[in-house]
Amino acid sequence: QRAEFDQLRDTPAITLDGTRIMVLTNAGLAVDLENLDMTGAEGIGLFRTEFQFMVADELPKLTAQTALYKLVLDAAGNRPVTFRTLDIGGDKILPYLEPEREENPAMGRRAIRLGLDRPALLRMQLRALLSAAAGRELRVMFPMIATVEEFRRAREMVDREMEWARRRGRTLPRLTRVGAMIECPSLLWHLDALLPLTDFVSIGTNDLMQYMFAADRTNPRVADRYDPLSPPALRALLEIREKCTDTNTPVSICGELAGKPLEAFALIALGFDRLSAPASGVGPVKRMILSTDLKAARRGMEPLLASSASSVRGELESLARKLNL
């Protein structure tokens, strides 16, 4: 199987009926970079910058942050990289930064909330990103955005940092794209306000599902109680995809769903064409795409969205089998 995936490395992911799907990979540490060439991913759809902080004993200095981001961009070459700003809190704790535990950390002061409350931290990170991407394209997105105002404030910080760098005569990125992660269900009903402010969005299905179904993603006792392959989850994803299509907003999926062939099959049937998967999922997802008749998959998906069942996994499996996956 491994050899089969190796063969697919340089094959673009195109469905049987000719739709090009971009398959990217998720990364977080320098050691992940070799996966780019090994898997043939077309870029990094999610670079989790907090990993560098999590393996350190103290706050990584500006120079260390800049060096890592440069390394990532160098390794990616012409392939796009989307950096996600610090997502700590929740299940990711940094003793040197935020020692106090919260009662309900998944809903606590995590991710962009911490970034906005402690702007020096986010500012330093943005400065490192802008400097690492001098003369190149910078794509940066913010985790756990729950309100439009949070995104507006975070984006303003990017603008201010760019202005700061410009005044000092620094070379800026050739192009800077700023996006939001869609992980909080609240945003689903404010996409009309959010999307015009973003250059792109990426759906973090791990957290989005956790919050939609009120089931802790780290708690095995509730992990099997709901299925992302269910009408409410699929309809939510479809709605985001449709609103993004209507507003011409590039949208990707970067949760674990994107790295599982059946789940990814459902995602492309919903119209997503950019998937960012863990490295181990890139080959299997590519193989699925290469053997899928997308029009048939979309037709097959329609009645499932209207189903009253709590899971349509079985139906999707039959559909995928029928389409010869």
Q: Which residues bind Mg ion (CB under 5 A)?
A: 183, 204, 207
Nearest to 42 by CA among 79, 5, 84: 79
Based on CB atoms, which residue is closest to ligand PEP, 87 or 273? 87
Binding track, positions 3-42, relative to ligand PEP; x by CB under 6 A: ----------------------------------------
CA 80, CA 200: separation in Å to the nearest integer? 13
Based on CB atoms, which residue is closest to ligand PEP, 110 or 127? 110
Tell the smallest beta-carbon distance from residue 162 to ligand PEP (Å): 26
Q: How many residues does the chain have?
A: 325
Query: Which residue matches tokens 């697919």?
Result: 8
Based on CB atoms, which residue is closest to Mg ion, 13 or 53? 53
**In this structure, is the dihedral angle defined by the CA atoms of residues 156, 159, 164 and 167, taken in order, positive or negative?**
negative
- Binding to ligand PEP, residues 62-101 (CB under 6 A): 87
Per the CB < 8 A criterion, the answer to whether 196 and 155 are in contact is no
Find the residue with minimal CB distance to ligand PEP. 204
Based on CB atoms, which residue is closest to ligand PEP, 111 or 148? 111
Tell the smallest beta-carbon distance from residue 142 to ligand PEP (Å): 12
Which of the choices ligand PEP, Mg ion, none does residue 205 contact, using the CB cut-off of 5 to 8 A by kind?
A: ligand PEP
206 is a site residue for ligand PEP (CB under 6 A):
yes
CA 177, CA 28: separation in Å to the nearest integer? 20
Q: Which two tokens stand for residue 252?
A: 């990707």
Strands (E), the chain: 22-27, 44-48, 81-84, 137-142, 175-182, 200-203, 251-253, 274-277
Per the CB < 8 A criterion, the answer to whether 136 and 73 are in contact is yes
Q: Which of 207, 261, 269, 287 binds ligand PEP (CB under 6 A)?
A: 207
Amino acid at 134: A
Per the CB < 8 A criterion, the answer to whether 252 and 274 are in contact is yes
Tell the smallest beta-carbon distance from residue 84 to Mg ion (Å): 8
How many other CB atoms sit within 10 Å of the CB of residue 37? 12
CA 88, CA 254: separation in Å to the nearest integer? 17
198 is a site residue for ligand PEP (CB under 6 A):
no
Which of the choices Mg ion, ligand PEP, none does residue 254 contact, using the CB cut-off of 5 to 8 A by kind?
A: ligand PEP
- Binding to ligand PEP, residues 242-301 (CB under 6 A): 254-255
48 is a site residue for ligand PEP (CB under 6 A):
yes
CA 323: distance to chain centroid?
28
Based on CB atoms, which residue is closest to ligand PEP, 48 or 241? 48
How many other CB atoms sit within 10 Å of the CB of residue 22? 18
Based on CB atoms, which residue is closest to Mg ion, 13 or 154? 154
Q: Which of 82, 205, 230, 252 binds ligand PEP (CB under 6 A)?
A: 205
Amino acid at 133: A
Q: Interface with ligand PEP by CB under 6 A: which range of 152-160, 187-195, 202-210, 306-314? A: 202-210
Based on CB atoms, which residue is closest to Mg ion, 150 or 183? 183
Based on CB atoms, which residue is closest to ligand PEP, 66 or 210? 210
Per the CB < 8 A criterion, the answer to whether 182 and 143 are in contact is no
Q: Which two tokens stand for residue 55?
A: 């393996």
Give the binding site for ligand PEP (CB under 6 A): 46, 48, 87, 183, 204-207, 254-255
